[in-house]
Amino acid sequence: MEPLSDSCAESYLKFLKADKPTEPTLDYLDRLIRVHLERVTFENVDVLLQRRVSLDAETVLGKVTGRGRGGYCFELNSLFGRLLLALGYSLKPEGGPLAPHDSRRLGQTHAAVPHGPAGRAGRQRPLHRGRGHRAVRTAPGTARGR
């Protein structure tokens, strides 16, 4: 995964109404997650209608910022991950299953964005809805907190 270009990162931050950080910190990441969730809608209309979906950064950015649409996890997390890279965070994109706690696991149907400050990818903090809308520490390879 490549970072967003400077102009795309600036456009995305402007859409999110977020300032560019002076350094990649956990506090800034928590704020960025919050504003992203407030401004960008999760939607899977294109997937349900079996439309071809592009994960190209500029295409997804245009869909979100130019057309006022949202996207599904692979679109939004790839765009968000590219923004994090452009802002100096390190990350390792991962897939994972989505299933109720009492059902059997499904395939790799969801995308997550584990990250760490620049050069510290070992301190991964995937986005985890169950812990509120902020970054949380998880055990490597899982979506559950320790």
pLDDT, tens digit, 9 for 90 and up, residues 49-95: 888 888 888 988 999 898 888 887 788 888 999 999 999 988 876 65
For each of the domains in the chain, give its residue range(s) and CATH number, in order of start.
6-116 (3.30.2140.10)
Length of the chain in terms of residues written: 146
Q: Is 19 exposed, middle or buried (0-12, 13-18, 19+ CB in 10 A)?
A: exposed
Per-residue pLDDT, averaged over 108-137, amounts to: 48
What global pTM score does this model have?
0.69
Backbone φ and ψ of 106, nearest 5°: -100, 180
